[in-house]
């Protein structure tokens, strides 16, 4: 089980860091991938249309990256009301202090400002647990920064099972490397930093963006020796041009490879790497997104309703 | 729209203070009465079976008091998942500070202790708004102490309508007197004080409880003059024996009426007042409770789903 908030088109960082991992997992396990539109409201509640617009783009990028909606359950969080129901039910047993203690809460408050301090924002890690628990998710691919959310979620599951009997599953982390793909300014590639190479970019735009990368500032002339270990262009060669990495390292350090040539080679290999993804993206019939989400959400609702029957029963609620 | 938490059998205070008002309202308006089992979890999460057991008793008391489940929608909160869904959706736009500012929050925390400081307890007034808003409730009978909850709810509705377009109705308070019925110890009748005369009590128990009331401590002998204005027995005469109140006041103050006789008269009139309610209670087929709640909850779900379609549409969620 995993998911992402619809915040816009996906970039190379998503493709390398997340989607390739999802595709691998989906080939050997039953997988649920969630378009987390409710989570997007925790920070983006003032612009619902932006969330709505980002939804289709994101799903198309997922499918282009190789997610198969027949094999995996690709669904819309808000179209599975059982997740929201579970959130309200579990809210009754979760101490506010547990939520306030989650490290990302205070960090994000400081970063994004007090106007995002909503009740829903405070409950974000609980809603994340509900995304997982509604489908009896046992394994969640996470980066190190998300481990505290999952640990919180396991605490909630243990408390529920202790109070009402064994019902929910403690989700386990599948620690994933999530390589930090450098953006055009050398910082981590991120939509909010406007330094991305997007899946939906065309090849000329990609080449132009690759040319704009800042390389080693001490390598001024073509024949100056470079320091590949600090160069974002060198880092990117690992993903699209892995076989050539040792030669490039040597040639750069020896002053035998200029940055212009090095970037040309990267642009070519990146475009080659992205070509099949972009081709699937271009060939995709956009009008199918809604039908895919509807079918996936229907499958998700059936599974989640089974979980909710067990949860309501354990809490002696509903028709229990 | 109104409701109550299932916390046990109802007493005279409920009957006089709440149920008679509900019956009057149900005769001239479309009414929704909610068994608020989720709200009961905000303080009673550790004992779900107690909430479950209290449910049937409370519904039987409602029906005995004259609530007609054909005319009013009598439903179970947890059997209408749209309420929980609305709670999660609205959580995204409600500042935590609004909830922390609700006066009852800090009062109850102090009274009940820190272990009830759950996320759900903090969100109590928001869930109350959802109870109302899910049914487009326009009028809510409230006591003065609940006005702040309703004001909070109207603020949330205004914020929603401002952000996403006019969708929800601002519920208006119907200020009700809710007379404070004195219990056997002279304090306000309340289950937690163990000073109640229950609807389900038999007549002998009622008579015994009436005899145990503390009257004016300065009226030691039968012929001592009493102070009716401080006497809980005198206060109770207003509800079951209103026509005799002026004579009783005069006789008590003149030392012409002893407390034993006064209590006997009260016990008789209270039992007479409660007799038809108790008769309906005794005659009621308990096995019908579930069917009544199921039918009411089905009606409630239909109305609430209509509201949710509008809410999801306004927020551009779900299939919108």
Structure ipTM over 0.85, yes or no: yes
Contact between residue B78 and residue A28 where contact means Cβ atoms under 8 Å apart? no
A85 pLDDT above the threshold of 90: yes
Which pLDDT does position B165 carry in this prediction?
A: 97
CA pseudo-torsion sign A9, A11, A16, A18:
negative
pLDDT at residue A235 in the model = 95
Averaged pLDDT for residues A216-234: 94
Kindly give, in sequence order, each residue whose CB lies less than 8 Å from that of residue B21, ignoring residues fewer than 6 positions away.
B141, B176, B178
Q: In the structure encoding, which two tokens stand for residue A229, read together?
A: 């270990």
Put simply, the answer to whether A38 touches B317 (Cβ < 8 Å) is: yes
Q: Which residue has the tokens 């736009």?
A: B93
Contacts with A318 from chain B: Cβ below 8 Å: 76, 78-79
Question: Residue length, chain B?
Answer: 320
Give CA–CA dist B23/B73, Å, rounded: 12
Q: What is the average per-residue pLDDT within A293-317?
A: 97
Q: State the nearest Cα–Cα gap between B314 and chain A, in angstroms.
A: 9
Does the pLDDT at position A30 exceed 60? yes
Contact A164 B48 (CB under 8 A): yes
Contacting residues for B265 by C-beta, under 8 A, at least 6 apart: B237, B241, B244, B248
Nearest in space to A38 (alpha carbons), one of A128, A111, A148: A128
How close, in Å, is residue B142 to chain A by CA atoms?
24
Confidence of residue A1 (pLDDT cuts 50, 70, 90): very high
Question: Would you call B286 helix, strand, or coil by DSSP?
Answer: coil
Q: B28 touching A, CB under 8 A? A: no
**B263 phi, psi to nearest 5 deg:** -70, -40
Residues 133..162 of B with a Cβ closer than 8 Å to A: which? none
Any residues with CB less than 8 A from the CB of B280 and at least 6 apart, and which? B63, B64, B66
Nearest to B120 among A38, A91, A317 (CB): A91
- Return the pLDDT at A45: 96
Mean pLDDT by 10 residues, chain B (320 residues): 91 92 94 97 95 95 96 98 98 96 88 89 97 96 87 97 97 83 93 93 98 94 94 96 96 96 98 97 94 97 98 88
User: What b/e sequence results for B249-264 when a residue is b if at least 16 CB atoms lie within 10 Å of its CB, and e otherwise?
Assistant: bebbbeeebbbeebbe
Number of Cβ within a 10 Å radius of residue A111: 9
Q: What's the pLDDT at A153? A: 97
Residue of A95, A99, A107, A106 lying closest to A125 (CA atoms): A99
* A163/B contact by beta carbon, under 8 A: yes
Contacts of A78 in chain B (CB under 8 A): 89, 312, 315, 317-318
Which among B314, B304, B36 has a CA at the least distance from the CA of B164? B314
CA B260 to chain centre: 32
Q: How far is it, in rounded angstroms, from Cα A72 to Cα A95?
A: 34
What integer pLDDT is reported at residue A109 of this predicted model? 87
**CB atoms A91 and B163 under 8 Å:** no
C-alpha–C-alpha distance, residues B227 and B246, integer Å = 13
Does A42 touch chain B if contact means CB atoms closer than 8 Å? yes
For CA atoms B63, B65, B68, B72, the dihedral sign is: negative
CB contacts under 8 A, A 264-293 vs B, are 290
Task: Report the residue from B92, B95, B122 with minimal CB separation from A41.
Answer: B92
Given a contact cutoff of 8 angstroms between Cβ atoms, the answer to whether A271 and A202 are in contact is no
Q: How far is CA A105 from the centre of its chain?
A: 19
Residue in A51, A81, A134, A163 to test binding to B, most B beta-carbons within 10 Å: A81
Interface test with A, best of B119, B164, B305 (most A CBs within 10 A): B119
The neighbour count for residue A261, using CB atoms within 10 Å, is: 11
pLDDT class of A110 with cuts at 50, 70, 90 = confident
If you ran DSSP here, which 8-state letter would residue B221 be given?
S
Nearest to A183 by CA among A226, A143, A236: A236
Q: Percentage of chain A surpassing pLDDT 70?
A: 99
Domain B2-181+286-314 superfamily per CATH: HUPs (3.40.50.620)
Whether B201-281 and B2-181+286-314 are alike in CATH topology: the answer is no
| Angle between the N-to-C axes of helices B37-44 and B124-133, in degrees from 0 to 180, rounded to the nearest 10 | 180
Query: Helices in chain B by DSSP H: which ranges?
Result: 12-14, 20-26, 37-44, 48-65, 81-91, 96-101, 103-112, 119-122, 124-133, 147-164, 203-211, 232-240, 245-253, 259-283, 288-314
| B16 touching A (Cβ < 8 Å) | no
What is the rounded average pLDDT for all residues in chain A?
94
Report the residue of chain B nearest A91, measured CA to CA. B120
The string of pLDDT tens digits covering residues A124-166 is: 999 999 999 999 999 999 888 889 999 999 999 999 999 999 9
Q: Cβ contact (<8 Å) for B79 and A294?
A: no
What pLDDT is recorded for position A239? 93
CATH number for the region A2-181+287-314 comes to 3.40.50.620
- Our CA angle for B86, B72, B40, nearest 5°, is 50
**CA distance linking residue B168 with residue B156, whole number of Å:** 10
Least CB-CB distance to B42: which of A92, A97, A290? A92
The answer to whether A266 and A240 are in contact (CB under 8 A) is yes
Cβ distance B315 to A48 less than 8 Å, yes or no, reads: yes
Q: Which of A39, A88, A97 to mutate to test the interface with B (most CBs of B within 10 A)?
A: A88
Confidence (pLDDT) at B270 = 97
Q: B227: distance to nearest CA of chain A, Å?
A: 47
Smallest CA–CA distance from A47 into chain B, residue = B163
In this predicted model, which residue has the larger pLDDT, B86 or A192? Answer: B86
State the Cα–Cα distance between residues B240 and A17, nearest whole angstrom. 75
Query: B75: closest CA among B181, B24, B1, B145?
Result: B1
Q: What are phi and psi of B199, to 5 degrees?
A: -60, -40
Q: Is the pLDDT of residue A195 over 90?
A: yes
Question: What is the C-alpha radius of gyration for chain B, rounded to an integer number of angstroms?
Answer: 22
Q: Where are the domains of chain A?
A: 2-181+287-314, 201-281
Nearest to A81 among B51, B52, B85 (CB): B85
Measured between CA atoms, the residue of chain A closest to residue B46 is: A163
Domain A201-281 fold is: Tyrosyl-Transfer RNA Synthetase (1.10.240)
C-alpha–C-alpha distance, residues A123 and B154, integer Å: 22
Nearest CA to A60 among A197, A200, A195, A181?
A200
pLDDT value at residue B235: 95
Cβ of B118 within 8 Å of Cβ of A163? The answer is: no
pLDDT in the model for residue B105: 87
Closest residue on chain B to A88 (Cα): B84
| Chain A CB within 8 Å of residue B18 CB | no
Cα→Cα distances A116→A49, A54, A129, A144, B196, Å: 18, 20, 20, 24, 46
**Which one of A38, A79, A92 has the shortest CB-CB distance to B319?**
A79
């Amino acid at each position: 089980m995993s998911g992402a908030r619809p915040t816009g088109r996906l970039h190379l960082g998503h493709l390398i860091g997340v989607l390739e991992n999802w595709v691998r997992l989906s080939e050997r396990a039953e997988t649920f991938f969630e378009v987390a539109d409710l989570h997007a409201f925790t920070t983006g509640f003032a612009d619902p249309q932006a969330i709505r617009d980002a939804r289709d783009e994101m799903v198309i990028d997922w499918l282009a990256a190789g997610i198969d909606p027949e094999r995996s359950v690709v669904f819309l969080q808000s179209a599975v009301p059982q997740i929201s129901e579970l959130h309200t039910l579990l809210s009754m047993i979760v101490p506010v202090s547990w939520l306030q203690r989650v490290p990302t809460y205070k960090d994000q408050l400081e970063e994004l400002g007090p106007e995002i301090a909503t009740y829903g924002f405070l409950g974000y890690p609980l809603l994340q647990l509900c995304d997982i628990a509604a489908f009896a998710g046992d394994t969640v691919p996470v980066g190190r920064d998300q481990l505290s959310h999952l640990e919180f979620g396991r605490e909630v599951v243990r408390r529920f099972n202790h109070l009402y009997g064994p019902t929910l599953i403690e989700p386990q982390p599948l620690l994933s490397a999530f390589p930090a793909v450098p953006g055009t300014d050398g910082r981590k590639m991120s939509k909010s930093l406007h330094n991305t190479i997007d899946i939906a970019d065309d090849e000329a735009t990609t080449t132009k963006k690759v040319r704009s990368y800042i390389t080693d500032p001490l390598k001024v002339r073509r024949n100056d020796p470079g320091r590949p270990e600090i160069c974002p262009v060198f880092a990117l060669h690992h993903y699209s041009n892995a076989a050539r990495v040792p030669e490039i390292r040597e040639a750069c350090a020896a002053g035998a490879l200029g940055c212009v040539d090095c970037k040309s080679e990267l642009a070519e290999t990146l475009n080659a790497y992205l070509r099949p993804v972009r081709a699937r993206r271009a060939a995709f019939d956009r009008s199918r997104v809604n039908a895919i989400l509807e079918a996936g959400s229907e499958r998700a609702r059936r599974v989640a309703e089974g979980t909710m029957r067990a949860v309501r029963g354990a809490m002696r609620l509903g028709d229990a």
